[in-house]
Amino acid sequence: MELEPVSFGKENAYQHALCMDLTPDKFQYSVVNLAQKKAVFFSEIEGVDFSKNGIGDLLKQLNLPADFASYSLSSGSNRNTLIPVPLFSHDKSTEIFKLNYPEPMDNLDYSRLAELGIVNIYEFPLWIKSLFVSAFPRIKLLHRSTVLLKAAFDQQAFSHKLQLHLDQSQFYLLITRRSDLLYFNRFDYKSLSDIVYYVLYVLEQKEIEQDKIELHLSGVNSKWSELKTFQEFFKTTIRIHEQNELSKDYMLTKQLLCV
């Protein structure tokens, strides 16, 4: 895998960020122009060997032309929990995490989201940390849930806003209104009907009417093949941004909010 020299030049690397995302399903990365917030290069590899040796070999194949202004990676396990800042204590993070998840736990860490008044406690496997810090010493490591939480408030919504971020076999669901986070969770799914069921169930439990929300999708592009079918279940128009940086590559581009 090599960056295309036509779309990216070594001499202006300092004007760009290298943003990477790793899940058990795939590894993807983009080179983003910091001034324009636009990707000049993108690559993804599906069906990765999600192990220390497998990802280690993959990183050795990357042929990066120069030092970038910043490096970031979104990854981590699919387990995280949110807690208000006043209730958080660093030495109690394990006990807090145990309230939601059973042991064993895989290298707990946390991020403070001051603008939301919450702390995000999550698992970030040590083998992932060691591989990427060794390859990119200046890298910023981010849990994927942290990126999505920061991104949800990048643009304020005065009505209820429901953000769905779709991955290959899981999705994140966030509901916000103004500067308030009303709901956040992650779900596994096998079919489109699973996504529809969970979304409608959450809206019912939160007593939010369909026609009173903005529904935004990311993780897929505006040509998503399931969009027409998915739209049939909702009264509000589903919005997918035309620019890949704000739709399909959302997880990559929004890392810049955390760097």
The DSSP code sequence of 163-190 is EEEE-SSEEEEEEEEETEEEEEEEEE-S
Full domain range(s) for residue 110: 77-123
Residue type, 116: L
Residue 28, in any domain of the structure: no
Considering the domain architecture, whether residues 104 and 182 belong to the same structural domain is answered as no
Considering the domain architecture, whether residues 235 and 176 belong to the same structural domain is answered as yes
Residue 5, in any domain of the structure: no
Alpha-carbon distance of 47 to 204, in angstroms, equals 36
Alpha-carbon distance of 147 to 256, in angstroms, equals 9
Residue 173, in any domain of the structure: yes
Residue 119, in any domain of the structure: yes
pTM of the model: 0.93
Residue 52, in any domain of the structure: no
Cβ(77)–Cβ(124) below 8 Å? yes
Residue with tokens 């387990």: 79
Considering the domain architecture, whether residues 118 and 207 belong to the same structural domain is answered as no
> Total domain count for the chain?
2
Considering the domain architecture, whether residues 241 and 159 belong to the same structural domain is answered as yes
Residue 85, in any domain of the structure: yes
Count other Cβ atoms within 10 Å, centred on residue 218: 24
The tens-digit pLDDT sequence of the chain (259 residues) is: 443 443 556 668 889 999 999 999 999 999 999 999 899 889 999 999 999 999 999 998 887 766 899 999 999 999 999 999 999 999 999 999 999 999 999 999 999 999 899 999 999 999 999 999 999 999 999 999 999 999 998 876 678 999 999 999 999 999 999 889 999 999 999 999 999 999 999 999 999 999 889 999 999 999 999 999 999 999 999 999 999 999 999 999 999 999 8
Residue 60, in any domain of the structure: no
Alpha-carbon distance of 45 to 55, in angstroms, equals 11
Cβ(18)–Cβ(139) below 8 Å? no
C-alpha distance from residue 243 to each of 73, 121, 173 (Å): 21, 31, 21
The CATH number linked to 177 is: 3.30.420.260
